[in-house]
A and B are shown apart, each in its own frame.
Chain A
Amino acid sequence: MARIVGIDLGTTNSLVAYMTGGVPKVIPSRGGRTMVPSVVAMTDNGLIVGDSAKEHLTRNPERTVYSVKRFMGKGLADVQSELAYFPYAVTEQGGVIRIKLGDKSYSPPQISAMILKELKQRAEIHLGESISKAVITVPAYFNDSQRQATKDAGMIAGLEVVRIINEPTAASLAYGLQEKTQGTIAVYDFGGGTFDISILKLKDGIFEVLATNGDTHLGGDDIDRRIADLFVKEIRSAFDIDLMAYPEHMQAARLEAERAKIRLSDGQKAEIFIELPDEKGGFTRELTRSQLEELAAEIVERTLSPCRLALKDAGVTPERIDEVVLVGGSTRMPLVRERVQALFGKQPHCHLNPDEVVALGAAVQADILTGGTTDMLLLDVTPLSLGIETMGGVMSSLIRRNTTIPASAKEMFTTYVDGQTGVDIHILQGERELVKDNRSLARFRLKVPPLPAGVPRIEVTFLIDANGILNVKASDMRTGQSQSIEVKPSYGLSDGEVERMIEESFKFAQEDVNARRLIEARLDADALIVTTERSLTEGSPLIGEKEAAAVRKALSALTAAKEGTDPKPIRARMADLELAAKPLSVALLDDSLKRSLQGKKVSEVTKG
């Protein structure tokens, strides 16, 4: 079976990992960096992703997208309150958010796909094979629309998403494999944009999630904002400048806030410098850890109530938790560790790198799916209750939150009026009583044969698969015939839209393919040059000067071709070199054969 890589598609950073020799490993860039900043920039030379795009955050803020994960599977109304913080233009089209980059608009899955492509390419170069399948992680508290959007992103990037798994559970897989963790554990996952808590039971290779809770809109980003807001306020009163009106400077303030926050995880104070617009000089101040903690306290506090709810749903008290594991960059903050320790009454730990552990776990899950790891099994749950709208705008729950997935529920529908030919069904997710307080997932119309009222009996099966994604099936109980259902997602791309986006990405794919072929050709050429040069040093006494000169000539031709941007001449010069070096390799082979035969009797040789 083809290789499946594990991908952590994070709010701030993304990573790709794979399993080798029973151990998960993060794939680094050529420069040795494991994290790809989840940033996409539109430059004059086209789209760029990652470290190079991050540089554009302050240079080119209107055309540089960061934290796109916050927009996945959302409508504009969901994010209205925080739009002021984003320098790029966010609009809506057909219920799905669009981000304007230059003269084109992109959906969040398309932007995420660009990050995924970067990771895919990184893996392909590192592993020397083409990658078409991935396990991608999402916050445990992601709803159906957000999961579907992540799957769409994978498809647009040319990846079959064989499984969506939850970030905290992925982390537990890595811990279970590498640290042999057992017992009841709590995974506290506080990242750049999302917070999750999962309570799991680890026993005999089974990773059973007992309960999960979280907030998909709460993360380190929010702390950075609080700090940046303070700077804005102080700059306004000291210099009478509204920094919010200057996107470049606002970005700089946000990045300075993030840097200071990170520094204050180890140190007690950090120097702040923000260049002011219109050459009005700079704003400087000192930020102490206690000042930071004052700003962050409310946000950290907000992570605790999901923890208590998860414990309650899992039916365990904090004393029954054997281990508390920390995941996500924000757990580096001493304040976070303090609060977690106070809640669970034990010291939390992060023996594995909290930035990498989720990607490592995704690679473990990928290995389970390919059949490599057979003794581990993850039994996850659905984070939110699933239901349908009933009379009076009330949600009737079909699958309760924290139900082990796959989970299914059947519901029988009939008609109220003679000859009625359809029943409208509205699917929801959430914990509240009323439809309007829950998340609308999708609507569909059930086709019913025209019969007297109450006679039709249509059974609808709602099935949440192992990805936490809903599938709906209906069958007519009278005829036994099943009907396909076309679900119109409330906050997602339709199948047609996803297809169009895949096509669009193919247009760019041609360029990508060329780029990859070039990289591969150069790598192969390098390898050939090294081995040929070695052979030449060893074997030149064995061949004629004319032949050796031909090899040298072919070598320099290949070295020159390698500088070009077309992979074809590189491959051609490689073939030339192989041909020219043939006498050399034959001579070397003869020579080694001769040497191995020396001192042996003829009978031994023939016996082989």
Chain B
Amino acid sequence: MDHSHTHNVGRRELQMARSMCWHCQSEVSGEYFCERCVKVQPVSKEADYFTCLGFPRRLTIDPHKLEAKFYELSRAFHPDFYQNKSETEQAISLSNAATLNTAYRTLRDPIQRAEYLLAIEAGAVKEIRTSPPADLFEEILELQDTLEAYRASDQSSQAGHQLRAQLQKEQHALEQRKQEMETQLERLFIDWDNLQDRGEATGETRAERDRLLKQIREILSNRTYVKNIVNDLVATIG
């Protein structure tokens, strides 16, 4: 067992940190209800959304399983079922339910899920791109010129119609581009999951891990950039 492996195990334990039941002080470890007094326990502030929903940190998640787990935990935490309970339990239920809802909303969407994983794995805040990605640079510059020309033109004129048609074509192309990025992401997500499943912690896999995270981050930010451009386009040409 090399050093980094021990490190990983240590991290895992931290997530499932043992703590005491707020009510009867008996030991609870990661369960949502105390085994002794059956009181609801607050979801740990350190727990990430994957842990909260009982899923491993993977980028491909079966939406049906995720939904089933969300429903199950909703039945456990929702304030509706704590109306007759103590104030402390009501407060825990409210805060747990709010955390659960955020966790589900984040993990349900593959893009948000990946952005969240990047944040907890690499500590990266969401990168907001202000200039176009290199391979789209010229295309975007041209598009912006056309957009300006369209805004300045008499939109009901022949020229206006032509510009509009051109923009529609661009929109279509960009949407396709976004689709391609999403396909690329899906492949990277599978690579990431495979790497995690292998569970090795050699120098090689660490390098592979960093490479994957970097790639995912770049495509994610490019995708967001393209998405925003498309939204602008739609807002202008309707």
Chain A: residues with CB nearer than 8 A to chain B? 1, 162-163, 203-204, 206, 365, 368-371, 374, 377-379, 403-408, 463, 465-466
User: Which of the candidate stretches B100-108, B126-134, B158-166 sits at the interface with the other chain?
Assistant: B100-108
9 contacts between A and B (CB under 8 A): A1-B84, A204-B71, A206-B71, A369-B80, A371-B83, A403-B105, A406-B98, A466-B78, A466-B94
List residues of chain B with CB within 8 A of the CB of A374: 81
Q: How far is the CA of A379 from the CA of B83 in the complex (A)?
A: 16
Q: How far is the CA of A519 from the CA of B158 in the complex (A)?
A: 80
Q: How far is the CA of A370 from the CA of B80 in the complex (A)?
A: 9
What 4 additional pairs, Cβ within 8 angstroms, besides A163-B80, A370-B83? A204-B71, A379-B74, A405-B101, A465-B79
List residues of chain A with CB within 8 A of the CB of B75: 206, 377
- A406 contact from B81, B97, B105, Cβ within 8 A: B97
Q: How far is the CA of A204 from the CA of B72 in the complex (A)?
A: 11
List residues of chain B with CB within 8 A of the CB of A407: 98, 101-102
Q: How far is the CA of A87 from the CA of B84 in the complex (A)?
A: 45
Q: How far is the CB of A360 from chain B (nearest CB, A)?
A: 18
* Contact yes or no, B84 A371, CB < 8 A: yes
Q: How far is the CB of A384 from chain B (nearest CB, A)?
A: 17
Number of interface residues of B (CB under 8 A): 18
List residues of chain A with CB within 8 A of the CB of B98: 406-408, 463
Q: How far is the CA of A378 from the CA of B104 in the complex (A)?
A: 16
* Contact yes or no, B104 A406, CB < 8 A: no
Q: How far is the CA of A451 from the CA of B98 in the complex (A)?
A: 33
Chain B: residues with CB nearer than 8 A to chain A? 71, 74-75, 78-81, 83-84, 94-95, 97-99, 101-102, 104-105
- A463 contact from B78, B81, B94, B105, Cβ within 8 A: B94
Q: How far is the CB of B20 from chain A (nearest CB, A)?
A: 19
Known A377-B75, A406-B94, A463-B94: A368·B102 in contact at CB below 8 Å:
no
* Contact yes or no, A378 B101, CB < 8 A: no
Q: How far is the CA of A404 from the CA of B108 in the complex (A)?
A: 13
Q: How far is the CB of A463 from chain B (nearest CB, A)?
A: 6
List residues of chain B with CB within 8 A of the CB of A1: 83-84
Q: How far is the CA of A369 from the CA of B85 in the complex (A)?
A: 11
* Contact yes or no, A406 B79, CB < 8 A: yes
Q: How far is the CA of A379 from the CA of B78 in the complex (A)?
A: 9
Q: How far is the CB of B108 from chain A (nearest CB, A)?
A: 10
User: Which residue of chain B is the closest to A375 with respect to CB atoms?
Assistant: B75
**Quick one: which of A203, A365, A405, A406 has the most chain B CB within 10 A?**
A406
List residues of chain A with CB within 8 A of the CB of B81: 371, 374, 377
Q: How far is the CB of A177 from chain B (nearest CB, A)?
A: 15
List residues of chain B with CB within 8 A of the CB of A404: 101, 104-105
List residues of chain B with CB within 8 A of the CB of A463: 94-95, 98
* Contact yes or no, A406 B80, CB < 8 A: no
**Quick one: which of B83, B99, B102 has the most chain A CB within 10 A?**
B83
List residues of chain B with CB within 8 A of the CB of A377: 74-75, 78, 80-81
List residues of chain A with CB within 8 A of the CB of B84: 1, 370-371
Q: How far is the CB of B79 from chain A (nearest CB, A)?
A: 5
- B83 contact from A162, A204, A206, A408, Cβ within 8 A: A162
